[in-house]
């Protein structure tokens, strides 16, 4: 980890911890603990089940895509690579991204598949995940049209739908029509900035990846469609997490429109505001604001956040242990330069 990244991480941790401390001081730690324990072992087990089923179907979707690319990987290895990737993304203050290269490295080290091909399957799987998320939100938005909900809440739902739909449309159009938007942007920067040699290498690598990813929406479209359906199932288990928690703590049943609104807003929070490791402080503050729209107190919102993070933290610990087992931790912290040189040589050979 270089100095600038280490500094950024330390600052983000301090900032997030300070925000969380302020939140807890206002709402009272005892109230949060009381709400957390109200979940009970039955509720906690149900939450664990929902989170594990999400990872299960995410992994199966990725395996389907890899098979489309001719990459045969055992389920167990794929699942642990997915958990390891999640661990890095969870701890990285970078909008819940960052673990994708780690996932590709695990598969590359344990199979004879090229890094670029595995990474292309990961990007394709992230796109099918986003498509599933957008589909869930759009279904909720259509249902909301026929429901009597406040105008401002309807506006939030429409704006969130448009935001995710726009991002998804750009990505799919780019790869389906082979527009190579990202490599074209790198070429534009190469013409405008003095770092010609570095940007040329970046352009070549990005174009190569875009070609690989485009196959998911052309040659391998059937596998991509199946992966999308599997990601829809995974999204369902994400969708019902708030319902599980508040049913066991309060006996509350949200309407379909309410749970869709919650899912949409939480998706925005985790997608665009994950700027501290583990979302510490920021996610709790965001959830307080979101749940307030539905009459849920701050202590209940924070307790919900803690229940999810308690489970995810165990997965993070397992993921980091597995990365150490596969030698990825050593590679990330001691052999980053060597990895870059190998990737460049591989690109030239292909």
Determine, yes or no, domain membership for 13: no
Which DSSP helix (H) or strand (E) runs through 177?
none
CA distance 123 to 249: 37
Within-domain flag for 155: yes
**Cα 126 to Cα 72, 122, 213, 271, distances in angstroms:** 19, 6, 11, 12
* Distance in angstroms (rounded) separating the CA atoms of residues 111 and 78: 11
CA 28 from chain centre, in angstroms, equals 30
**Is residue 281 one of the residues assigned to a domain?**
yes
Residue 268's pLDDT is 80
In a domain? residue 12: no
Q: Report the alpha-carbon distance of residue 239 to residue 137 in Å, rounded.
A: 10
Tell whether the model's pLDDT for residue 347 goes beyond 60: no
Is residue 19 one of the residues assigned to a domain?
A: no
Output the pTM of the full model: 0.83
Residue 208, pLDDT above cutoff 90 = no
Q: What is the largest CA-CA distance in the chain?
A: 62
Residue 236 lies in a domain: yes
Q: Which domain holds residue 241?
A: 29-349
Q: Find which of 156-165, 191-200, 248-257 is predicted with most confidence, using mean pLDDT.
A: 248-257
Return mean pLDDT, the chain.
83
Q: How many Cα atoms are found within 13 Å in the side-chain-facing hemisphere of 117?
A: 17
Q: Residue 70 carries which DSSP code?
A: T
- In this predicted model, what pLDDT tens digit does every residue of 25-70 receive, in sequence order? 888 888 888 888 999 999 999 999 999 999 999 999 999 999 998 8
Residue with the bigger pLDDT between 198 and 316: it is 316
Tokens coding 233: 């199932």
Give residue-wise pLDDT tens across range 258-308.
888 888 888 888 877 777 877 888 888 989 988 998 889 999 999 999 999
pLDDT at 93 > cutoff 70: no
Number of domain units in the chain: 1
- Whether the pLDDT of residue 114 is over 90: the answer is no
Contact 81, 106 (CB under 8 A): yes
Distance CA(158)–CA(149), nearest Å, equals 13
In a domain? residue 24: no
Residue 6 lies in a domain: no
């Amino acid at each position: 980890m270089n100095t600038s990244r280490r500094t950024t991480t330390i600052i983000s941790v301090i900032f997030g911890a300070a925000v969380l401390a302020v939140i807890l001081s206002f709402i009272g730690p005892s109230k949060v603990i009381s709400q957390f324990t109200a979940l009970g072992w039955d509720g906690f087990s149900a939450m664990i089940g929902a989170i594990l089923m999400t990872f299960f179907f995410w992994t199966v979707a990725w395996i389907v895509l890899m098979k489309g690319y001719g990459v045969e990987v055992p389920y167990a290895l794929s699942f642990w690579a997915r958990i390891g990737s999640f661990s890095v993304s969870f701890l990285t203050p970078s909008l819940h991204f960052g673990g994708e290269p780690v996932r590709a490295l695990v598969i590359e080290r344990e199979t004879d598949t090229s890094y670029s091909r595995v990474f292309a399957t990961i990007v394709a799987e992230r796109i099918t995940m986003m498509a599933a998320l957008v589909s869930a939100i759009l279904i909720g938005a259509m249902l909301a049209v026929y429901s009597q909900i406040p105008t401002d809440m309807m506006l939030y739902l429409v704006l969130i739908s448009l935001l995710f739909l726009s991002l998804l449309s750009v990505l799919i159009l780019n790869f389906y029509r082979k527009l190579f938007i990202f490599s074209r942007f790198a070429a534009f920067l190469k013409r405008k900035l003095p770092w010609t040699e570095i940007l040329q290498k970046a352009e070549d690598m990005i174009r190569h990846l875009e070609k690989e990813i485009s196959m998911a929406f052309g040659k391998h479209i059937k596998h991509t469609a199946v992966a999308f359906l599997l990601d829809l199932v995974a999204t369902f288990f994400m969708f019902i997490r708030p319902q599980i928690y508040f049913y066991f703590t309060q006996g509350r049943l949200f309407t379909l429109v309410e749970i869709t609104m919650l899912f949409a807003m939480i998706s925005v929070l985790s997608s665009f505001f994950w700027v501290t490791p583990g979302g510490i402080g920021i996610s709790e503050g965001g959830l307080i604001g979101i749940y307030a729209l539905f009459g849920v107190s701050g202590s209940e919102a924070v307790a919900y956040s803690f229940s999810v993070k308690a489970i995810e933290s165990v997965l993070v610990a397992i993921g980091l242990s597995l990365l150490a087992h596969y030698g990825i931790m050593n590679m990330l912290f001691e052999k980053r330069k060597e990895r870059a040189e190998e990737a460049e040589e591989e690109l030239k050979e292909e």
